[in-house]
Amino acid sequence: MAQVQPYRPQYKQLPLTRRFWRAIRQYWPLYVMLIPGMLFFLVYKYAPMYGIQIAFKNYSLKKGISGSPWLTETGKPLLYWFQRFFKTPQSRQIISNTLVLSLSKLLVGMLPPLIFALAISECSFKRYSRVIQTVSYLPHFLSWVIIYGICATMLGETSGVINNLFKKLGWNTVPFLNSSKYIRGVLVGSSLWQSIGWSSIVYLAAIAGIDTSMYEAATIDGCGRFRQIWYITLPNLGRIFVVLLITKVGNILDGGFNQVYVFMNDRVRASAEIIDTWVYTQGLGKAQYSLTTAVGLMKSVLSCGLVLGTNALARKWDSSLW
């Protein structure tokens, strides 16, 4: 006679705490691997958020964060530093520069990595494609100081390669690095050159994960390579493209501090200065800690809203992050 098995509740019917500890015991190696990443975010991302209160205080370096009085205690509104930022003469200009540069980099920098990845994946000479991949990755590992040196060698007004060519052709030299008219194009172009190879890695990985039987079936049906790219490759890359777009939209208020700070000079400041460079010069140069903290907090809140909004729109096409 068969033995009656004791009743065991389903996993989802167990209490939450019991389910938690069961998952810990079952998958403990994975949770141990998460510890370094969690510590990184805890120490370098969440712990510094204690200083956010500086944006609502009349901060004094001598008194410290906890000892500095709140703005309401000094007779000022709690959002005084936010209001002061928008009243500064440079606020409209630096916000405009940040949006123009970021949107230009976003629009120019989204399709080229995808096209480059498609070209690499369709190349029949694999050894040649691997060499091209390696060469395209190299600029990602160069600092912006080195990239600026390369740009100065190529675009310098007095001794640059391109301007020397213009002189030989009898044309006027162009101040690419010292003119507000051209500096934004230089920033966008150098950013694309630096990131195109590295950004294509995600697309190449996604292309490698596409089921090859789909291409085989398309070949049997008489589809050429361009039709296979249009009807198979691109639809499978659509979700990856949207996810990358969401992450880039979240950084739209950054503008690329390292690049802009290295390329900027007094001649192009009116067209190149962004929020982050202004915060750096005002915060460290003029000790305006409360003002710059308020600007940084405002930028973070707006960036979070942009990510949430873009993700909500992407959810309609079933391509959201969450």
Q: Tell me: the pLDDT tens digits for 76-104? A: 999 999 999 999 888 899 999 999 999 99
**pLDDT tens per residue across span 131-173:** 888 888 899 999 999 999 999 999 988 888 999 999 998 889 9
DSSP letter for 70, please: B
For 178-207, write each residue's pLDDT tens digit: 988 999 999 999 999 999 998 898 899 888
Q: What is the pLDDT of residues 204-250, one digit of tens each?
A: 988 888 888 888 898 888 888 888 888 888 888 888 888 888 888 88
Q: In this predicted structure, what is the pLDDT of residue 15? A: 75
Mean pLDDT, rounded, of the chain: 87
Percent of the chain topping pLDDT 90 = 40
Give pLDDT, residue 273: 92
* DSSP at 156: -
> Where does the chain have alpha helices with state H?
16-26, 28-41, 64-67, 80-87, 91-122, 126-137, 144-155, 161-168, 183-208, 212-220, 225-228, 234-250, 257-263, 269-272, 275-280, 289-314
Please give the pLDDT value at position 7: 45
Confidence of residue 1 (pLDDT cuts 50, 70, 90): very low
Q: Enumerate residues 6+ apart whose C-beta is below 8 A from 147.
A: 139, 190, 194, 259, 262
Per-residue pLDDT at 5 exceeds 70: no
**Mean pLDDT, range 10-20, rounded to an integer:** 71
User: Of 250, 294, 295, 290, nearest to 277 (Cα)?
Assistant: 295
- Chain-centroid distance of CA 273 in Å reads 18
Q: 183, exposed or middle or buried, with CB in 10 Å at 0-12, 13-18, 19+? A: buried
Residue 12 pLDDT grade (very low, low, confident, very high; cuts 50, 70, 90) = low
Check: CB of residue 68 under 8 Å from CB of residue 60.
yes
pLDDT at 312 over 60: yes
